[in-house]
Amino acid sequence: MELMGRRGFLVGAGGAVAGLGLASRLAGQGGTGSADSGGPQAPVGRALRGNPIAVSTYSFWRFKDGLKLPIEQCIDEAAEMGFDGVEILHIQMEKETNEYLQGLKRRALINGIDLCGMSTHQGFVSPDKDKRQQNIDHTLKTIDLAYKLGIPIIRINTGRWGTSGSFDELMKNRGIEPVLPGYAEDDGFAWVIESIQKCLPAAEQAGVLLGLENHWGLARTPEGLLRIIKAVDSPWLRVLLDTGNFLEDPYDKLEQCAPYTVFMQAKTYYGGGLWYTLDLDYPRIARIMRKHNFRGWVSLEFEGNEDYKTAIPKSLAVLRAAFG
């Protein structure tokens, strides 16, 4: 029996993964039930399916001068390349009017593609209560934007101490920065936890999950990330896991976070990374995530110097082969 793939499965992955029969697909995932298959066994009667693959609009821009594409163009190109969904970078949006938002929804529908996530920017690590409130208000606004777009999850950050100066300096220090003088890390965790708790009622009301990313700051380590998740203890706060933000020994760290993960951002670095390059083993990462029953979106964040027109399709093929 031939497996009927999505249009994007055939377009994006090409001959590397297209045309696989159901039996061979299950065998590749260790799901045939054979004692020597070497992978996790699928329960009898349960069909395995791959993760849907999205692309972040960041992948087309990467904060490079002159490359900030309109979201509409990103949706069109993502569909043409064969992705299942698009994750929108909030600061890449040109407007926030209802007309603009509904236009994006319409464009995605016509292209047969989902708007599956929104990456936002906020920081709660500040002793200034007014500044924290400004970031809470910003988060509440983006929850509403996601609701109007039909997006089920937004990426949130803890924020950073700000003692590194520039992001380039932070990257030179491998994401590590000193605590603000006169304060302790426990202060930062308390501010973040309290701020997120203030956002939860709006998230629940809108049906928009908050996905806390391992995006530097207090979530730079699995221990810091999960400390916040467990302290807040809400079904409306879960992990949004970035494969490229654990710079050393990533696999054990990814596995620590996997049971709490509902959305994944997958980095690739064709042409060399903008700040660093990681040689990530995506088949291994996919096995880790399947072990913990992760069925959510895998969203490409291409962060290299190669032209996106060649790098993004290559990245899609890699992710389809691993997660598809």
Q: Are 123 and 135 in contact (CB under 8 A)?
A: yes
pLDDT at residue 109, rounded to an integer: 98
pLDDT at residue 47, rounded to an integer: 58
211 phi/psi in degrees, rounded to 5: -105, 105
As a whole number of angstroms, the distance between CA 303 and CA 54 comes to 15
Q: What is the largest CA-CA distance in the chain?
A: 66
pLDDT at residue 1, rounded to an integer: 36
As a whole number of angstroms, the distance between CA 301 and CA 283 comes to 17
Which helix (H) or strand (E) segment holds residue 254: the answer is: helix 250-257
pLDDT at residue 44, rounded to an integer: 52
Q: For the chain, how are helix, strand and coil distributed in percent, rounded to 5? A: 45, 15, 40
pLDDT at residue 195, rounded to an integer: 98
Q: Which CATH class is domain 50-323?
A: alpha beta
112 phi/psi in degrees, rounded to 5: 65, 40
Enumerate residues 6+ apart whose C-beta is below 8 A from 192: 124, 125, 158, 159, 218, 228
Q: Would you state the structure tokens that stand for residue 207, as one six-digit string?
A: 């049906």
pTM > 0.75: yes
pLDDT at residue 173, rounded to an integer: 74
Please compute Rg for the chain using Cα positions. Answer: 20
Output the tens digit of pLDDT for each of the chain's 324 residues.
333 333 333 334 443 333 333 333 333 333 323 333 333 444 555 557 899 999 999 999 998 888 899 999 999 999 999 999 999 999 999 999 999 999 999 999 999 999 999 999 999 999 999 999 999 999 999 999 999 999 999 999 999 887 887 777 777 777 788 899 999 999 999 999 999 999 999 999 999 999 999 988 899 999 999 999 999 999 999 999 999 999 999 999 999 999 999 999 999 999 999 889 999 999 999 999 999 999 999 999 999 999 999 999 999 999 999 998
Residue with tokens 């693959």: 53
Which helix (H) or strand (E) segment holds residue 156: the answer is: strand 153-156
Structural domain spans, the chain:
50-323
pLDDT at residue 171, rounded to an integer: 75
pLDDT at residue 275, rounded to an integer: 86
Closest residue by Cα to residue 194 from 152, 243, 169, 159: 159
